[in-house]
Structure 1
């Protein structure tokens, strides 16, 4: 079971917590799996043993995207604060004596929310997830070395794009606008994500691994 493998990552060496990364294309099911792993570890080892830290909290705000002319590319690597994400990964690995606060992402607002999440001092495992954890572009190439393991979440494109269509329509786009955005932005992003899968420790297929 994947939860067993996550439990095995909980360190017994004082001074540092473990970090498990989940990479995958948009709508692959990374956040669902991450939350399930956190819940499973907590059920086994006690509440607060694991914490969830999504990369999405490091989306640039819509105001910054507009300033940069990148609103139509939202979700591409250049639309994230990669330096902030790398800095936070270093902090959560090494800071054990006080809470570490992290930004979350509100899909209703389509905006990051400062300090929406917390990694409590007792957490020994952080599960982080995002599209570009296996990317080797500027800034992103530092992420892999901060992860104890990196799992690639592999989901068929047809299923991912159905999920994306629902997500964007719920977010306020018309169906035609959503389809256009998927074609112009989400598919190129997915192709880039897929190029990094060889840097992952293993590949997991949601529904096939329990």
Structure 2
């Protein structure tokens, strides 16, 4: 689907009445292109409707810290559903749906540090659209299943496994792992996580591939 068509559809989601806010969710496997699409859509909405109309809030800010993962013995499975603060993420989505008079601060994720960063993002009161993305937005497990009802639309971002894993390899090597360490982490953690995410695809209303989107 052409990018211009996706942008038109997102523009149509933006409430025309002041004080209303829509939430668009993008689910998909690791390195499918969720954050790239989310940023492009946010910038496109702001370009057409004015700066501050849209905001981008990724789920990755709710990664548990490395210290907590070490305490739980889950560092080697970072990115699995139980390595996120899903309750905190759901609470944030509820605040975003309800709050319009004050800014809402949200955590971000720093890939260089490989750690969440508190209050790294802000959603201004005037934002009428929030684009959020993450692996498990369509998951049916406890905690995650509450997300779908908080979103106005939920799309699935798709990409072939070989493309995703090549991106992951580059990402982890840039982050400081050796190529062997990166490949081992992809096999042990990223691939099982992706398989779980792929099973949730049917819970999304649209499937989008950036590899086929242009214009």
Shared topology, TM-score over 0.5? Answer: yes
Aligned residue for 1:3, secondary structure, equals helix
Partner of 1:90: helix, strand, or coil?
Answer: helix
Residue 92 of structure 1 and its aligned partner are, at CA, apart by 0.5
Asked whether the 8 Å contact 2:159–2:211 carries over to 1, the reply is: no
1:167-178 equivalences in 2 (<5 Å): 167-178=171-182
CA distance in 1, matches of 2:45, 2:16: 15
Q: Indicate whether 1:16 and 2:11 are aligned.
A: no
Instruction: Describe how 1:43-82 pairs up with structure 2 within 5 A.
Output: 43-82=47-86
How far has the Cα of 1:12 moved from its partner? 2.9
1:88 to 82, 87, 92: 92
1:87 alignment partner, SS class: helix
Distance 2:19 2:122 in 1: 19
Q: Deviations over 1:175-209 (max 9, x none)?
A: 00100000010000000000101110100011323
| Cα displacement string for residues 5-50 of structure 1 (whole angstroms, at most 9, x for unaligned residues) | 1111101355431000000000000000000000000011000000
User: Contact 1:16 / 1:94 at 8 angstroms: preserved in 2?
Assistant: no
Q: Which residue of 1 aligns with 2:120?
A: 116
Shift >6 Å, 4+ stretches:
none
Partner of 1:40: 44
* Aligned mate of 2:198, from 194, 199, 204: 194
Q: Contact 2:111–2:175 at 8 Å: present in 1 too?
A: yes
**Aligned-residue CA RMSD in angstroms?**
0.8
Q: Which residue of 1 aligns with 2:29?
A: 25
Q: 2:145 aligns with which of 117, 137, 141?
A: 141
d(CA) in 2 for partners of 1:196, 1:150: 11
Does residue 179 (structure 1) correspond to residue 187 (structure 2)? The answer is no
Secondary structure of 2:67's counterpart equals: helix
Equivalenced residues, count: 210
Deviation at 1:94? 1.1
Please list every run of 5 or more consecutive structure 1 residues that lacks an aligned counterpart in the other structure.
none
2:148 aligned with 1:158, yes or no?
no
Whether 1:98 aligns to 2:97 is no
Deviations 1:128-165 (A, max 9, x none): 00000000111000001101000100100000000000
